[in-house]
């Protein structure tokens, strides 16, 4: 149960964070003055890692643990789906969002900004699905 709770905490934290990022934070990138943009973007990249890095790593590790050693009350398809969603989030981050942040780190670029906001919907949807899934797993446990 402790592993399941740890997954729930990490996933719900990241789901709330990604919704804030999608609705508030990323859209406001375009409001930062061009003169200060590079400094802003580099600070964002550095500081965001402190906030999202630990829960993302915890979520990946715990999802793998649950997939390969599922609790008896949780169907295997749920744990494997959860791991698949985490892998999708990491792939989206590495292949879609990080390259846009790299471009934006050199200076504001409207096309990169729009690509970042648009592609981030992938992570927003995947984390929202994970939130529902982990809450379902907790429900399964509570009914045993």
Name the DSSP class of 32.
S
pLDDT, position 91: 99
- pLDDT score of 135 more than 80: yes
> What digits encode the pLDDT tens for the residues 87-132?
999 999 999 999 999 999 999 999 999 999 999 999 999 999 999 9
Mean pLDDT calculated for residue range 31-44: 91
Q: How far apart are the first and last CA of the chain?
A: 12
Q: Name 70's Cβ contacts closer than 8 Å, sequence gap at least 6.
A: 76, 78, 79
């Amino acid at each position: 149960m402790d592993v399941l709770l740890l997954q729930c905490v990490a996933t719900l934290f990241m789901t709330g964070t990604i919704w804030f990022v999608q609705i508030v934070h990323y859209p406001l990138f375009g409001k930062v003055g061009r003169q200060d943009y590079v400094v802003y973007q580099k600070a964002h990249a550095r500081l965001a890692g402190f906030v999202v890095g630990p829960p993302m790593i915890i979520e990946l590790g715990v999802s793998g643990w649950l997939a390969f050693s599922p609790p008896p009350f949780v169907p295997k398809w749920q744990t494997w789906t959860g791991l698949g969603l985490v892998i999708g989030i990491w792939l989206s981050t590495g292949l879609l969002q990080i390259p846009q942040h790299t471009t934006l780190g050199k200076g504001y670029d409207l096309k990169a900004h729009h690509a970042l906001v648009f592609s981030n919907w992938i992570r927003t949807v995947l984390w929202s699905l994970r939130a529902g899934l982990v809450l379902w797993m907790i429900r399964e446990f509570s009914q045993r």
